[in-house]
Structure 1
Amino acid sequence: MNYSGVPEPNIAFAPKSYICRRAAGPLLLDGRVDKPFWAEAEWTDDFVDIEGDLRPKPAKRTRTKMLWDDNYFYFAAELMEDQIWATLTERDSVIFYDNDFEIFIDPDGDTHHYYEFEINALNTVWDLLLVKPYRDGGPPVNGWDINGLQTAVHIDGELNRPGAANRKWSVEVAMPWTSLRECAPEGRPPVKGEFWRVNFSRVEWRAEVKDGEYRKVLNPDTGKPYPEDNWVWSPMGIINMHYPELWGYVVFADEDGPESFELLQDERIKWELRKLYYRERNYFASSGQFTTDEKLLMGDGQWSIVPVIETTGRLFQISAPSTCGGATFYIREDGKLWKE
């Protein structure tokens, strides 16, 4: 296999974190996020541009909430919007061709076998499983569905009605653990104190009114719509959501759980291994071979690990010790990261 280069995100490693508390009762979905069920859940920070501080803050506010119980992982999203429109009605359409809200979940944090979910203002959904990120040749499994999924959308205004007094649209989602456990550690739901890697994205297209309808604004130079904006909870430093190593940390807690999350040193070790993976792949893309010369990969920067680099003509493995008694982290050429 001729490995392509892997762009290295232009961002410091500082993913967002969220304490996800237990739900006090069952959720009856109607898309409204101002009801008692959500009262004890904190809002996330407002979304930022996918590239983080490299780009201006979004013009429209987006934020989310999360809760969990023995049966479901619950999500709420509020999207401020003066142009509420959607066109796609068939499940598993490419929903981001409309304005949408998206959820990404990597239960075990190895960047392989993770979930993507998208929903538009018509309550049309696209759910899929990624075997591995596109950069690593991973195919999306479009035929995979979240069995038992529940969703609802509430429109504060009027859908597809230019000139209406539009304020926002909001979303509720309940994902059953019976489906999400498929890619989870030990094939089970999370337990108190564990975290999963999660991120959210909002796709927003430039739109105008033509012939009484919303239409995407076309670039006169290309005849195609201008690129969409991508607004996210935990910034990526690159216009690509499929870097699960940069998603946020969602910690599952009881009602009286911790107030904050302190990033573990092991997570920083994993990030430094990930940076070496980017650079090893990029070295191959430019030279046609991998290298065991750590100086070539690490330069003169500050690192907390002393890696062991092993290569063959078409494979590599890089390892570094964990801070936890005798264990070691490994990463290989397709981005898979694991602990032994």
Structure 2
Amino acid sequence: MIDLLSYGAFFLTTALTYSLICLGLNLQWGQTGLFNVGVAGFVAVGAYASALLTTPDAPDRLGGLGLPIVVGWLGAGVAAAAISAAVGALTLRLRSDYLAITTFGVAVAIHLVALNAVPLTGGPFGVGFIPRPFAGLAATPGLFGAVNLAVVAAVVLAVYLALERLVASPWGRALRALREDETAAASLGKDPTRLRLQAFAIGGAAMGLAGALQAHFIGFVAPDNYQPTLTFQVWTMLIVGGSGNNRGAIAGGVLVWGLWALSSSLVGALVPPEHQARAAALQIVAIGIMLAAVLVFRPRGLIGETRTVSRHLRARPTPPGGTASP
């Protein structure tokens, strides 16, 4: 029973970190229409930034400042936001496919830096001994997992509520106006470049924070954790859950990660060891089939975007014997 509870806490903690990445991507794509295919790179920036800030002193690499975990998380968000803003300042004038290609190239560049900058990132061996929250409870796995789950859930809830307030604000409405018709939004005095840059940086900060949560939950980061597969997973989660809806982003993260974990368990239990590496590739195929099915039968995702109507139009009464004016 204790093992089951520990696994449940591990599963939900991991799923919620993916949901947090989805919240950042939802602000960029679902609300603003920015086609970011470099998700893995921004998650890696947050993970490494927090690891270098909080790990003990290491003679073979930079960093190792031994700062509190909360400082590492804040630093991860700031570092990812700064990198996102720098990338956005150079690339956000591009559109659709060109922006996707550029952000993918940025993610590859970040991965290569993590792989080769040995004095900073530890190279292919990564960074270990990352402190875990409430490590003193590790002797009781059930309680340790529950406390970590509560911490991650609180962070995700705080980010969700903050993004909900932003999306409902005039700033959020301006993002959606920009997504739907940039020319019309610009004609009303909105600055498309500034709005895109702000959304891209805030979304990147959420991704970096999620990377830091994952790093401290696992206790180790390495370049192979941030392959393009991660970007594919997160995009699938957002589309399945519902692009443009923060609740859909969270639900998609939990659901798709559940299917991914279930398929991994089935491969381990049913496939002989000598064929497991080949069978594991079928996970990508299965997720791709599910994504195609969702796009065909429910294009808006499980929890689609809620169409908002101006308060002025909602409050306008319908004249007797007539229809409300548009």
TM-score of the aligned structures, taking structure 1 as reference length? 0.24
Which structure has the highest helix share of the two?
A: 2
TM-score of the aligned structures, taking structure 2 as reference length? 0.24
Higher relative contact order (CA 8 A, sep 6+): 2
Which structure has the highest strand share of the two?
A: 1
